[in-house]
């Protein structure tokens, strides 16, 4: 890092390609004095209703931003691959989703409406009419993760803009460049800069920003350990949404078409090298089929091309940091030493890559069985009774998305009813998502609900008028 200004302790944050550690770009960090200025400006914007942006202006800005993103789609996809290690084929999908998300925010503004409240249900309320309207909640601070460096920012920042909230956004230190471009695009689209600020800063400074009493809403995507810690320190009155990881379970039932499900399971488990909060991690299969399913997964995993995400042929990129390869290697070795069968993988391919790995019957108390791997590892377990499989799937403190593969409607409904998850996919992998659906974790996996419309609702507040006739 190099000094940015002799009179300022801020520094430059260098960004590297996680595959070969080559330089990609840099962004300036800011100190508390600058963040304090941003917060004060944002609070004054919110307090002065004459400065609020009317809905038609917010719609116009968001629509123009979507066009600008589409015009820079190739550049953004390469940037995502370069700084985040997501293969180009998947990075292009992320950019397309980001465009859709911004357009959806513009559309959802028309749904930020109140309703009439009946008052004459009792004599006490008679002679009055009442209705509600929506107002922005106030200053939003968004802190994001590395694994979807553009689309996560869209899901946190664009709803704030749509709801009429000033927003300060701090991306992951590994992947700030996509966020910086997105904020620049919003400004180019006509959003006054003071309404959306891009920030990179030191951890202690970030915590000070998050816990500042001027913050009305805190949006966080990251680890459960950090998210719950920050929530415990929020100023009184600050609302929040936390999105953490899961240890996603898949139940395969006797009637399922095993060959047909393989591409879905491989994509769900090894997409972005497993660095997805709802990545397929635990597969429960009938005991007499578990080994065969593990071998079929292994055969598919062995064909995946691991390499630099900016190469067109790459299907699995690097892990975000070399120390994450160390951690995944340690967890897999622990499971194998405790009795798991290594069906394929189980080795590092370099300082920054790990082979797509399939484990059969790791112990239930192994880290790979009870914690989010966030790496290219799928575990397969045999079960004798589907109730046992559901109980094991539900046994952890984490609950996010789950899935079941079956041709039996009764089994599908049983899984939907009994799996502890916010979404149960039938005949699809656990990582399926479209940007307008609710997306949330239960228990340790999160707090409140993501998804464009749901986030806009969280960043708005109701006001009721009661008029005595």
188-204 confidence digits (pLDDT tens):
999 999 999 999 999 99
**Confidence class of residue 382 from pLDDT cuts 50, 70 and 90?**
very high
User: What local confidence, expressed as pLDDT, does residue 10 receive?
Assistant: 63
Residue 440 within a domain: no
64/156 same-domain check: yes
Q: Which residues contact 323 (CB under 8 A, 6 or more apart)?
A: none
Lookup: tokens for 320: 């975000």
Beta bridge mates, 28: 12
How much of the chain exceeds pLDDT 90, in percent? 98
**pTM here?**
0.94
Supply the range of the domain harboring residue 288: 249-435
pLDDT digits (tens, 9 = 90+) for 335-355: 999 999 999 999 999 999 999
**Confidence class of residue 133 from pLDDT cuts 50, 70 and 90?**
very high
457/356 same-domain check: no
User: What local confidence, expressed as pLDDT, does residue 11 receive?
Assistant: 87
119/96 same-domain check: yes
183/258 same-domain check: no
Asked about 243 being catalytic, the answer comes back as yes
User: What local confidence, expressed as pLDDT, does residue 1 receive?
Assistant: 38
Q: What CATH number is given to the structural domain containing 234?
A: 3.40.605.10
Provide the Cα torsion 326, 328, 331, 335; round to 10°. -130
207/302 same-domain check: no
Q: Which of 165, 277, 316, 379 is catalytic?
A: 277
71/141 same-domain check: yes
- Cα–Cα distance for residue pair 156/165, rounded to 1 Å: 11
272/397 same-domain check: yes
Mean pLDDT of all residues in 303-331: 98
165/274 same-domain check: no
148/9 same-domain check: yes
Q: Which helix (H) or strand (E) holds 141?
A: strand 140-143
460/420 same-domain check: no
Asked about 165 being catalytic, the answer comes back as no
Structural domain total, the chain: 2
59/200 same-domain check: yes
* Positive or negative: CA dihedral 16, 148, 187, 78: positive
Q: Which of 94, 103, 108, 243 is catalytic?
A: 243
452/334 same-domain check: no
């Amino acid at each position: 890092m190099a000094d940015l200004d002799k009179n300022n302790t801020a520094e430059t944050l260098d960004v590297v390609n996680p595959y070969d550690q080559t330089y990609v770009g840099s962004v300036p960090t800011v100190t508390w004095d600058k963040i304090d200025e941003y917060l004060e400006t944002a609070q004054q914007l919110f307090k002065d209703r004459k400065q609020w942006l009317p809905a038609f202006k917010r719609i116009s800005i968001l629509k123009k931003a979507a066009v600008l993103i589409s015009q820079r789609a190739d550049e953004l996809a390469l940037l995502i691959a370069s700084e985040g290690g997501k293969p180009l084929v998947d990075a292009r999908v992320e950019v397309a989703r980001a465009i859709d998300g911004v357009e959806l925010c513009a559309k959802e503004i028309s749904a930020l409406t109140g309703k009439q409240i009946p008052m004459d249900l009792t004599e006490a309320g008679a002679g009055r009419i009442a209705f509600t309207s929506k107002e922005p909640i106030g200053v939003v601070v968004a802190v994001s993760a590395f694994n979807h460096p553009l689309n996560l920012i869209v899901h946190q920042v664009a709803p704030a803009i749509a709801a009429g909230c000033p927003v300060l956004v701090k991306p992951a230190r590994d992947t700030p460049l996509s966020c910086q471009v997105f904020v620049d695009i919003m400004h180019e689209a006509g959003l006054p800069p003071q309404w959306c600020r891009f920030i990179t800063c030191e951890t202690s400074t970030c915590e000070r920003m998050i816990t500042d009493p001027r913050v009305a809403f805190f949006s966080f995507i990251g680890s459960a350990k950090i998210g719950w810690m920050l929530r415990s320190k929020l100023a009184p009155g600050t609302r929040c949404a936390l999105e953490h990881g899961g240890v996603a379970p898949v139940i395969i039932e006797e009637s399922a078409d095993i060959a047909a499900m393989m591409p879905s399971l491989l994509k769900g488990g090894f997409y972005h090298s497993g660095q997805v909060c709802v990545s397929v991690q635990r597969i429960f299969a009938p005991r007499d089929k578990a080994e065969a399913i593990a071998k079929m997964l292994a055969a598919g995993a062995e064909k995946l091309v691991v390499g630099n995400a900016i190469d067109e042929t790459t299907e699995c990129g690097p892990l975000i940091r070399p120390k994450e390869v160390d951690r995944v290697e340690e967890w897999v070795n622990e499971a194998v030493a405790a009795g798991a069968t290594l069906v394929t993988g189980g080795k590092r391919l370099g300082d920054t890559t790990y082979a797509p790995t399939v484990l059969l019957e790791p112990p239930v108390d192994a880290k790979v069985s009870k914690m989010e791997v966030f790496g290219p590892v799928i575990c397969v377990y045999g079960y004798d009774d589907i109730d046992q499989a559901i109980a094991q799937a539900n046994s952890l403190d984490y609950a996010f998305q789950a899935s079941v593969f079956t041709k039996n409607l009764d089994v599908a409904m049983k899984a939907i009813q009994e799996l502890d998850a916010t979404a149960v996919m039938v005949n699809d992998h656990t990582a399926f998502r479209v940007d307008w659906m609710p997306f949330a974790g239960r228990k340790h996996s999160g707090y409140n609900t993501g998804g464009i419309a749901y986030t806009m609702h969280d960043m708005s507040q109701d006001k009721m008028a009661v008029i005595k006739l």
